[in-house]
Structure 1
Amino acid sequence: MESGLSQAFQEEFICIICRSYFTDPVTISCGHSFCRACLHLSWEDSLLPVQCPTCREPCQQKDFRTSIVLKNLVSIARQASLMKYLSSEENKCVIHKEIKGIFCMENRIYLCQLCSDSHEHRGHRHCPIEAAAEDQMERLLKQMESIWNKIHQNEENLEAEKRMISLWKNCLILREQKKRAEYRTYYPDLSEQEEEDIECIKEEGNYYLEKLMESEAMIVQKGKELTDMYQELMAMSQEPYVVLLQDFDDVFRRSESIQLIKPMAMKPELYVRALSGLD
């Protein structure tokens, strides 16, 4: 009975989307709770109102505050699972037969109290495993938020680049029309010179157009890189604390190294004036 009750209690901490413990849980308007990251990905391309993944009730917002009580309860459950793992005989210190309840920040390993006081580890930074796990989880959540914000900034950059490409194309068409009108009005007999000027406009215009399209492609690729990293961080957040403590630093460093690509700072009207044959 007690085991069944415990199992039912544990199930309340499971997100129905990822089937793992809640990570940064939020409770939406209908009362159902999910990982924030799961909702981000589930609703990413959806317009308001969105639907609850459980009951399909419409929801008029996408951003919610963290459910602090649920987050704390999940943390307790995660810590209990961690201590159960560390308390097993096969995971105790092979030298002192003690529970390895200390985390060595330098070596990224678990130590018992006696090992942490040894000469080998005495000068290292140590932390109780529960505190170290909570600290890593908070770092992970902040990094996920940072990457998510970069994803949206990258989308804005992509839209800006698309607008610039469209503006650039229209500007080149208008400049060509203007140049032809000038020739018809002032130099009707210089058709050969007219075509040379038009060709110059097209060549130089296409040069900058290619640059813009290359920039657009790079921003698209950056979006894929950011999304992949967000999903990798999300997967890491669903791992048991014992995995998170040992494997997070590499993922964290790689996620921090991702930098956004800014749209090309171009003003078509200024560049076009500089094209030969327009003055």
Structure 2
Amino acid sequence: MATAKDKLQGLQGEITCSICRSYFSEPVTISCGHSFCRTCLSWSWRLGATPSSCPECRQMAQTTEIPGVNGRLAELTDLVKQLCSENLQSAEGQRQCARHKLTFKLFCEDDQTLLCVRCAQSPEHGAHQLSLVEEAAHNCRKKLQLLQSHLGKHLEEAEELHAGEEIPAVDWHWMITEEFNKLHQFLMEEELRCFERLKQDERAEQDRLSQHVHTLQDLMLELQGAGDQPNVDLLWEVKHLLGRSASVLSQRAKGVSPELREYPIPGMMEMLRRVRVDLTMDPTAASPCVIISEDLKSVKAGEGWQVGTSHPEDCAFHAVLTEQVFSSGRQYWEVDVTQLPQWMLGIYTPHLRKRRDPCDSLFLLSHVKKEKDYYLQTYPGSLNCRVKGRVPRIGVYLEYSSGTLAFYNVLRHSLIYEFHSIPFTESIIPFFSPGPPIPGTKAGPMILCPVKSHSCL
């Protein structure tokens, strides 16, 4: 048989809002029969994914307007609240301290706990601020009311911001589009300027070669004419002719081999560094003629490297590969070659290797010294250009899907050479060779540059 306490608890369920879980405040009843606080229902319909549906049974209401206050339910709520309050007051005396079996009379503000008189006298609460239960409860209700007021203001601001999102105060889409348009225009202008420089350099190169050809032709005619002169006249001019011939022949290399051109591309290095990878050298995939550092980040020529020729096919195996193997995506890495007069770097592609020529699996950029000049050459490829000085830092870009391998002069922000449409089908391994060494000189290491740094240590 149900007791009075059970019946009172049942009445409490009837006057409790299922949204806020508190007693009804201005209760309203919608068409499905469920009741809610007027404010709770209003917020639910404004913020809900399905407007005008019952928050409890999800049935659509017959109208989108908030109903009027249910007076009978409001009176019932007040009556039950009064009964519950009286029952609570009578039950408060029954709540006792489990330790001392005394009624709670005090509240510790520091620990936020109820205390009996004996608990309040213990050392652990000696320096704490204590209040009577009635006073603490009154202050607590005031704090809750103030907090509810603040939350209401924040809710109103959030609703206003949410409603105003459809028409943003700042049109960021337009502004960002304009910035990218500026960037596109800037790059187009830079591209045109670069092409104009390229045309000027090509004309200058043609003029230089043309002048070199004319000089050789004039010297040939002069030598032919000198051979027909009398002996005394020939010997009179031979010193001049031999000196001029030696001067022209000394310029042969510069007349035939072009100098490497530099065309800086704004933003290129920043773009490439977005796909930069961290490489480590693999000691198990290294020639015995090279020495790898303990941190696996640099390699140098060993004393056992016997200098022969500088052709890649003779030096291909005096190198080291990396632990990383690539078979997709885009990768970029940088190498410090400041301390090396000669070097080779690139990629090794085992699947392209043929039986007759083991170097068909290599795509390399090499830096070699010929007489007094330095040259950058590709293998395979057609690049064979003199350079004014050593290129201290090389960037290597690999794009698997398009079969692209490109080399960059990092400090000049310019392209050196690009292989394209290489038929990659399997793995690719970065390749590094710190030589061949030049007899009589002591070369330093080839260093993998740190990913998070723009300069090598």
TM-score (norm 2): 0.29
More strand by share: 2
More helix by share: 1
TM-score (norm 1): 0.42
Q: Rg: which structure is higher? A: 2
Highest RCO, 1 vs 2 (Cα 8 Å, sep ≥ 6) = 1
